[in-house]
Amino acid sequence: MNYPNGRKHTIPQNNRNQAKNSFSNRGMTLEEDINETNTCYLEMNKAVIHKKPTPVQIVKVHYPRRSAAVITEGYFKQASTTDYNGLYRGRYIDFEAKETKNKTLFPLANIHDHQIKHMQSIVEHDGICFMLIRFATFNETYYMPAEKIFPYWQNKLNGGRKSIPYQTIKQDGYQIPFHFQKRVDYLQVIDQLYF
């Protein structure tokens, strides 16, 4: 099988029967699946969405050879905002991707205050902002609009529940089925909600 970028994908002989019956344990993380999906979108000229680099201050570099450099010490310059951003159909897209092994809830401890503030700012400026949440145990990925996450965050700050129940995400979110080319085709949900 070939991916849209022409790269060949083969299934090892001992895993072929297992692969026919199940998508589970594909060995891919949510981030890798999103990166593959974004590459597909870019190659199809459908959207321009990239992973944001984490700003790092390099402090020490070791040069074992003239042609090689090894960074031995570095620090984060600032807190990062969300994982991905870009453009789709003339709209700004900004989102965070999180994966959990929890079967009954999504812990809000996986999100940071500065990320919520950033997401609120995107929504205030009419950008499309959301989270992709994968429940790894069930191999289910959900598109959760940022506006639906904010009340849970506020409740947490007021001493309430520190998580979003799985059933709530299943009810209020949009499940994204796995596909081989566009593994996490979140643009189909955006089309449904905004266009």
For the chain, what are the domain ranges?
Answer: 26-53+80-194
pTM: 0.76
CA–CA gap between residue 154 and residue 157 (Å, rounded):
5
CA–CA gap between residue 139 and residue 132 (Å, rounded):
13
Domain 26-53+80-194, CATH among 3.40.1350.10, 3.40.50.2000, 3.10.20.30, 2.60.120.650 = 3.40.1350.10
**DSSP letter assigned to residue 13:** G
What is the model's pLDDT at position 27?
A: 42
pLDDT tens per residue across span 140-160: 999 999 999 999 999 999 999
CA–CA gap between residue 194 and residue 174 (Å, rounded):
14
pLDDT tens per residue across span 20-78: 434 444 445 999 999 999 999 999 999 999 998 776 777 788 788 777 888 777 766 65
- Cβ(100)–Cβ(106) under 8 Å? yes
Q: Where do we find the tokens 């201050």?
A: 57
Give 91's strand partners.
Answer: 88
pLDDT at 161 over 80: yes
